[in-house]
Amino acid sequence: MKLNRLTVTAKQENASSNTLNARLYLALVDDPNVKSHVITISQKPMSFNTGIVGNTLYVSENADETQVVSLQGSSRMKWIAELEQPEPALVHTYAVKLVGEKGDAMSWGSEYSMGTKFKIQLPKILYKDANRDITYHVKLTLAGTDVSSRIAIVRKVLKPISISVANLYGGYGALGNGILSTFRDYGIYSTFFGSQGIVYMPVTPTLPNNESNSAGVGANIPDNVNVLFSGRYATTVSNYYDNLITWLENSPNKNRFAIVSLDNSNSENQALFAKFTSWGYKYRGNTGSYASWVTSHTNDPVWDYIVKNGPFSNFRPSQQINFNAMFYRDGISGTFDVPTGVTSVLEVAGNGCSLSIDLQRRIIFLGDSQHTNTWTPACNALATVTDNEYYGRGVLWATLWAIIYNTAQYGDHFTDVFNTR
């Protein structure tokens, strides 16, 4: 008997997610009642493979993107990627991007050929959700079908960098000096900063409490120090400020922060600011007895962090910041002009800035440390103070510490969120 072979060809690929089954039998032409056994024919669904073990990719603290993904499947297929938001929801919605192998932009929801490789990029600005694991899911679907697969993109909880605070030099502007005592108290108030604080920190920081010149680290700044208070400028130690600038510019984790006080004479402040001219700062003088709020801001996320959406902006909803408040200053102080992109918070009318925040270079200039202690409520009284001028000053000093500490803990995971103007 001669064997005959029969080939059954599907009309098209199985675009469903289920196996399709058909029943086939053969009948004699001369006698249709004579039939063969039933033959079951199965067509499996189209499929592809992500090539990812466990379909999970991890993003580290220092790398903001996944490894390259190369899907495995028929070259005739196309795929679509859709982003699914984490559960529970994040504090903010972040710009998670689909990019090509070399970083070129791709689009969620668009069709790409099977051979197109891709990566997922997460922004570094996840600090508001830093204290939890974050898992996004990416749904990959074969175009024109309901065949899909999901991969998890996991960014493990950010580990805060340990905070180490020091004085560059002693005297006015150093932590431990009596004029900065109220401000220092804000920085060690566990209700504000700590494991149960408004701003999460594993532990409430320990701050210097010695204003002596010998306690400063300006001659040799330790690598682990990430917050420096300037102390008073002196010609004999002017090279300390060269060290400070080098220390700021060579920050491995972009988390070093300096607070420079202008509690100096005019000539000393002029010499001090000569160190910062290349950054665009210019010294003005020390005219005027009071500073006031700078209330004219356009698209300024640092200002918004102080007065609208920061951790202390709505500390007491029943109170409102009175922007008519004045901030005391004396003759041992200074004013200055700031470069583009720096937030001016306080000013002496007609004579320049008296408090600035520069998150690009991670430095605060304080025109007079007297701003922080005169007419400012104690840290533990901010919850009960009813004078809106006092309340606003307290909110400001608490927010400065939040900026300092978050930068020191998270570097550009925190500061990048302000790079929007």
E strands, 198-268, in order = 199-200, 227-229, 257-261
Q: What is the per-residue pLDDT for 419?
A: 77
Q: ∠394-356-196 over CA atoms, to 5°?
A: 40
- Closest residue by Cα to residue 413 from 161, 199, 124, 62: 124
Q: Quote the pLDDT of residue 163.
A: 97
| Predicted pLDDT of residue 33 | 85
Query: Is residue 264 within a helix (H) or strand (E), and if so which, with residue range?
Result: none
CB-count exposure of residue 386 (10 Å: 0-12, 13-18, 19+): exposed
Query: For strand 56-59 and strand 148-155, is the pairing parallel, antiparallel, or unpaired?
Result: parallel
pLDDT, residue 125, reads 64
Terminal Cα-to-Cα distance of the chain (whole angstroms): 85
Q: Do residues 78 and 142 lie in contact, with contact meaning Cβ atoms separated by under 8 Å?
A: yes
How far apart are the C-alpha atoms of 335 and 326, rounded to whole Å? Answer: 15
Give the position of tokens 């599907």: 10
pLDDT tens-place values along the chain, 421 residues long: 566 777 878 777 776 667 778 888 888 888 888 888 888 888 776 788 999 999 999 987 667 889 999 999 888 889 999 999 988 888 777 889 999 999 999 999 999 999 999 999 988 765 567 678 889 999 999 998 888 999 999 988 888 899 999 999 999 999 999 999 999 999 999 999 999 999 999 999 999 999 999 999 999 999 999 999 999 999 999 999 999 999 999 999 899 999 999 999 999 999 999 999 999 999 999 988 899 999 999 999 999 999 999 999 999 999 999 999 999 998 799 999 999 999 999 999 999 999 999 999 999 999 999 999 999 999 999 999 999 999 999 999 999 999 999 999 999 888 987 875 5
Q: Say what the pLDDT of residue 2 is.
A: 65
Give the bridge partners for 21, in sequence order: 42
Cα radius of gyration (the chain)? 31
* Helix (H/G/I), strand (E/B), else coil: 363: strand
Identify the helix (H) or strand (E) that includes residue 144: none
Is the Cα torsion angle 94, 98, 99, 104 positive or negative in sign?
negative
Q: Rounded to 5 degrees, what angle do the CA atoms 117, 95, 299 make?
A: 145
Contact of 233 with 269, CB cutoff 8 Å: yes
Nearest one of 211, 345, 331 to 263, comparing CA atoms: 331
Beta-carbon neighbour count of residue 80 at 10 Å?
A: 18
Residue pair 383/278 in contact by the 8 Å Cβ criterion: no
- For 235-238, the CB contacts below 8 A with 24+ separation are 235/268, 235/271, 237/169, 238/271, 238/272, 238/275
DSSP string, 303-369: HHHHHTSSTTTTSSTT----TT-EEE--SS--EEE--TTPEEEEEETTTEEEEEEETTTTEEEES-T
What's the length of the chain?
421
pTM for this predicted structure: 0.81
DSSP structural state of residue 102: T
